[in-house]
Structure 1
Amino acid sequence: MNAIALGLDRTVLELKMYAREKESVFFSFLFPVLMLALFSVIFTDTMTAGGSPLSAAEYFLPGMVSAGILLTSFQTMAMSVTAERDDGTLKRLRSTPMPPVSYFLGKVGLVVVTALAQQVLLLAVARFAFGVDLPDTAAGWFTFIWVFVLGAFAGTVLGIAYSSLASARSVSAVVIGPMLLLQFISGVYFAFTDIPSWLQQVASVFPLKWIAQGMRSVFYPDVMASLEMAGAWEHGRTALVLAAWAIGGLVLCVLTFRWVKRGTT
């Protein structure tokens, strides 16, 4: 119970530190919201996909939701843990009486709060600013929840594991670069069917493609399932792939996490 209480205190501290990092707040929290608003204003014509007319906001919302999940989990964790390891924060925390689990609970709390807040903001902007109809069935919201939970958990553990590959000087390029690339090939900014087949295969290896596909099943009409690679939403496969990434990321965290940067003791 003491570890949990300290974890809650650590969550509050993490949120305060996160709010002070303007670059992190913009690129991980506000970026998907601003992109949705920008695309919705620029592309004013109705788009047709699979015979179904969609406004720009309706068309881009699943991609922005999906990108937001990984930005607030994977990108936030990779950048913050790397910085704290290199500036000695982790080494100092390791020498305090605070249980290590409390530190990680604080990081999880940061992701939960920021990711939920971002999703609420995204959906509110889509609904009230651009008139997007949100899911009206329990099944739709259930799919949204389990895709969100699996995606955020996988992103969190993978981000912590990925932090071992970078230094504070290189972390922005090492993290933001690959994330932007994945967004372009995973159906976030373009229709997935418009992407070359070999790039579709590459994207299918990574979780963002499956998060985006799961979110398209929530916000798009069912007829548009025919446009997916398998001609269906593939909820079962989506859950298996995201669960595999979550478990694999957790194992990598255990095996690779370091409290000090390379070359120090």
Structure 2
Amino acid sequence: MITLSRAAFELKIFFRARDQVVFTFSFPIVLLVLFSAIFAGTLEGTAVTVSQLYAAALISAGILSVSFQNLAISIAVEREEGGLKRLAGTPMPKSAYFAGKVLSVLVIAAIEVALLLAVAVFLYDLELPADLAGWLTFSWVLVLGLASGSLLGIAASSLPSSAKSAAAVITLPFVVLQFISGIYIPFTELPPWLINVASVFPLRWVAQGFRSVFIGDGGVALEMARSYELGKVALVLGAWTVGGLALCLMTFRWKSRRDG
């Protein structure tokens, strides 16, 4: 009950910030429309349209944005403003704080994905999964992506030295990761060493999992391994979920650096 109350509070805070709401939900849609207008047509040697490819990619970037990026920045700001210190001194279980954050991320991500899918389906002929297996793949990729992203976001919240620097410290590496993870630029255009770097992190594998769902057999030729490697996708995302939890336990701080 406390967890649900905390999640409701987090959602209330989010939806009260109208500019943040508009940006969060509209940004991937705007990018999809722009990329679809600039890079029209199908990809060479396939029947996959550029719009379909970017739809799958932007869903991936969107869920990592609302989990990793948003959590890391918001928690860092709360810590530096003294909010976490005050919460730690209340009777509320500390686990309820984290669970409330994660539940709010799930709701926000679900809305964002639904909006992006609606635009992609009605405007760009994105095909939704036609069978249960496709929806099951979509579900576990989404859950593991959000879990790993949320835990890494909580851990990364300890990196910024101040509330003012939080956005810059978190956003820069995340933007770089998007460019090297096949979100904006196909892997075929990247040097091998950048692909190897991207393969260490979750975003590349979340995107690959969603391409298997929304592009299917028609896009296998675009993959580096000529396969979606779903077993590897699950293994890497599962490992990052466990690793993210370990990092949270080792690095999370309730007090800012100035509090000692």
Conserved? CA contact 1:66–1:215, under 8 Å: yes
Structure 2 regions of 5+ residues with no counterpart? none
Q: For 1:199, give the aligned amino acid.
A: L
Q: How does 1:173-212 map to 2 (within 5 A)?
A: 173-212=168-207
Decide which of 27, 32, 37 is 2:33's aligned counterpart: 37
Q: How does 1:219-230 map to 2 (within 5 A)?
A: 219-230=214-225
SS at the partner of 2:207? Answer: helix
Runs of 4+ in 1 over 4 A off after TM superposition: none
Which segment drifts farther, 65-74 or 131-140? Answer: 131-140
Conserved? CA contact 1:203–1:209, under 8 Å: yes
Partner of residue 17, structure 2: 21
Partner of residue 250, structure 1: 245
Separation in 1 of the partners of 2:95 and 2:225? 41
Q: TM-score, normalised by structure 2?
A: 0.94
Decide which of 2, 6, 10 is 2:2's aligned counterpart: 6
Decide which of 97, 102, 107 is 2:96's aligned counterpart: 102
Separation in 1 of the partners of 2:223 and 2:18? 37
Q: Let me know the Cα RMSD of the aligned residues.
A: 1.6
Deviation at 1:16, TM superposition (A): 1.5
Percent identity, aligned pairs only, is: 50
Conserved? CA contact 1:60–1:189, under 8 Å: yes
Work out the number of aligned pairs and report it.
259
Q: CA 1:223–1:47 in 2, change beyond 3 Å: closer, same or farther?
A: closer
Q: Deviations over 1:76-123 (max 9, x none)?
A: 110110011000111111111111111112101111100111111111
Separation in 1 of the partners of 2:87 and 2:218? 52
SS at the partner of 1:132? Answer: coil
Partner of residue 48, structure 2: 54
Structure 1 regions of 5+ residues with no counterpart? none
Deviation at 1:215, TM superposition (A): 0.9
Q: For 1:19, give the aligned amino acid.
A: F
Partner of residue 259, structure 1: 254
SS at the partner of 1:226? Answer: helix
Q: Deviations over 1:125-184 (max 9, x none)?
A: 111233322121211111111111001000000000000011211111111111111111
